[in-house]
Structure 1
Amino acid sequence: MWLNASCLIEFQISVPTPFLLMLRPRSGSQQWIMREEYLLSPSVPALEFTDMFGNLCQRIVAPAGNFTVSTSVDIETTDESDTAPGSPFIEVQLLPPDVLPFLYPSRYCESDRFTEMAASVTANQSPGYDQCNAIVNYVRKSIRYTPGIGQQIISASEVNQLGQGVCRDMAHLGIACCRALSIPARMVVGYLEGLEPMDLHAWFEAYVGNRWYTFDPTQPDLKGGRIAIAFGRDAADVAIYTQFGNPVDLLNMNVQVKKMTGPGYHSKAQ
């Protein structure tokens, strides 16, 4: 399917402030970018680089006053996310080197605390994809999805105790349980067509059967219409913006995803 996705972020800034931005998706096997706009207002110099996970990042110093970041992308993405019941577990010694960082505990995914729970949740499941699916079912049944209320980032342990969370928190728990079983797992932040309420979204991917597969505890079915912006070990790696120094005021953030009938042909917002 063809989608147009846009994000508008407005800040009020008291003094010139350094930012790291992460708002540019990349073309890859699951998505292809046809057109992209990226506007900073007022215009400031931007230095782009690729981080350790391959994400496109921009360094800027935003001036004092009202500052706006506006992005828009036309992209072709998959209608449905791939599934692979029965896809096997890959032994650690056979994993590609670039996958290994997603095995370790991280700041918000304390996988070393979930060894027993993950084993219990996945009992009698075939090692690999079926274990990941059992973990997603556990998170969906045990954690109440509460979009729009999670301002503070919480860890997998915290959301498991609290029993509710936003998409980011539920992804943390899924990732931690997968890693506890020596299954590499990574967080993804991006857009999801038809998400209610509309916002940026987070889900996770697990590496089984020699490739990454999508898992999303917040959605009853694994639909497509996803646009990945950034990948990382947890939410600390995939923040769409990070500011340094004095606090800034976030005045507004507006996310829209529109279906397109084809390249350049927009239909109504979702």
Structure 2
Amino acid sequence: MRLIAGCQITYEVNAPTPLIFMLRPRSGLGQWVMREEYIIEPSAQVIEYTDSYGNLCQRMVAPPGSFQVQTTAEVDTADKIDTQPGAPYVLVQDLPESTLQFLLPSRYCQADCLGDLANEIAGNAAPGYDQVEAIRSWIQQNIEYRYGTSDASTSAVDTAEQKVGVCRDFTHLGIALSRSLNIPARMVVGYLYELDPMDLHAWFEAFVGGRWYTFDATQKEPRGNRIAIAYGRDAADVALVTQFGAVQLKNMKVWVDKANT
């Protein structure tokens, strides 16, 4: 399905403030970016670079006053995500070097603290895809999705203990539990068609059977029509906006619509 997705972010800026946005999707597996629009009001000089995870980042200085960034992308997306029950576990010594960083504990994903829980959840599953699916299913069934129950400091350990959170928290827990079984896992943020309520979304990918597969613990069944924007170890790597000064968020709007074809 071809989707038109975008977001509009409005700030009130007190003084010239450096900002880094991460709002441009890249073409890749399951998505083809057909066209884009990036509007900045008032105009600011933009320098784009690619970070260590392959994400497109836009660097600029926001002038004082009202400052707005709006991005829109038309993307041809896969209607279904790839699934592969039984895809085998890849021995650590056989993993591609690019995946090794996604085995390690990170700021919000303390894999070294959750080994017992991971084995309790997935110990009887076949090593690899089936273990990650057992983790995803357990989170979906045992963690309550509720707004306002977590904040920017909430970690996977917190979510495991409190058993409540939002998509970011579900994702961190899935990543940490997968890594504790020596399965590389990474965070993805982007858009999901017909997400209710509409917002930017987070899910995770795990490397099994020689490739990355998508897992979303907030959904009962696998759902396609996703647009990935950014990848990283956890939320610290995939912030869609990073500010280096005092700016006030005034409004944020997100939309994902089916394109007219």
Distance 1:148 1:41, change over 3 A: farther
Secondary structure at the residue paired with 2:204?
strand
For 2:90 and 2:253, the matched residues in 1 are separated by 40
For 1:200 and 1:149, the matched residues in 2 are separated by 17
Asked if the contact 2:149–2:164 (Cα under 8 Å) also holds between the matched residues in 1, the reply is: no
Q: 1:139 corresponds to which residue?
A: 139
Q: 1:256 corresponds to which residue?
A: 255
- 1:141 aligned partner, one-letter code: Q
For 1:159 and 1:65, the matched residues in 2 are separated by 38
In the superposition, the TM-score normalised over structure 2's length comes to 0.98
- 1:128 aligned partner, one-letter code: G
Secondary structure at the residue paired with 2:152?
coil
Q: 2:236 corresponds to which residue?
A: 236
Identity of aligned residues (%): 54
- Is residue 68 of structure 1 aligned with residue 75 of structure 2? no
Q: 2:94 corresponds to which residue?
A: 94
Q: Deviations over 1:138-168 (max 9, x none)?
A: 1112210124664434110011111110100
Secondary structure at the residue paired with 1:235?
coil
In the superposition, the TM-score normalised over structure 1's length comes to 0.95
Q: Deviations over 1:205-233 (max 9, x none)?
A: 00000000000010111110100000000
Aligned-CA RMSD value:
1.0
- 1:59 aligned partner, one-letter code: R
| Structure-to-structure mapping, 1:152-191, within 5 angstroms | 152-191=152-191
For 2:100 and 2:77, the matched residues in 1 are separated by 27
Q: Deviations over 1:86-126 (max 9, x none)?
A: 00000011111111110000000000001111111112100
- 1:160 aligned partner, one-letter code: A
Q: 1:267 corresponds to which residue?
A: none
Secondary structure at the residue paired with 1:172?
helix
| Structure-to-structure mapping, 1:197-216, within 5 angstroms | 197-216=197-216
Asked if the contact 1:190–1:226 (Cα under 8 Å) also holds between the matched residues in 2, the reply is: yes
- 2:91 aligned partner, one-letter code: E
| Structure-to-structure mapping, 1:112-131, within 5 angstroms | 112-131=112-131
Q: 2:109 corresponds to which residue?
A: 109
Asked if the contact 1:153–1:169 (Cα under 8 Å) also holds between the matched residues in 2, the reply is: no
- 1:251 aligned partner, one-letter code: K
For 1:176 and 1:76, the matched residues in 2 are separated by 31
Distance 1:109 1:142, change over 3 A: same
Asked if the contact 1:156–1:169 (Cα under 8 Å) also holds between the matched residues in 2, the reply is: yes
For 2:147 and 2:190, the matched residues in 1 are separated by 15
For 1:116 and 1:63, the matched residues in 2 are separated by 50
Q: 2:42 corresponds to which residue?
A: 42
Secondary structure at the residue paired with 2:28?
coil
Q: Which blocks of at least 5 consecutive residues in structure 1 are unaligned?
A: 263-270
- 1:125 aligned partner, one-letter code: A
Q: Which blocks of at least 5 consecutive residues in structure 2 are unaligned?
A: none
Asked if the contact 1:147–1:167 (Cα under 8 Å) also holds between the matched residues in 2, the reply is: no
Distance 1:149 1:71, change over 3 A: farther
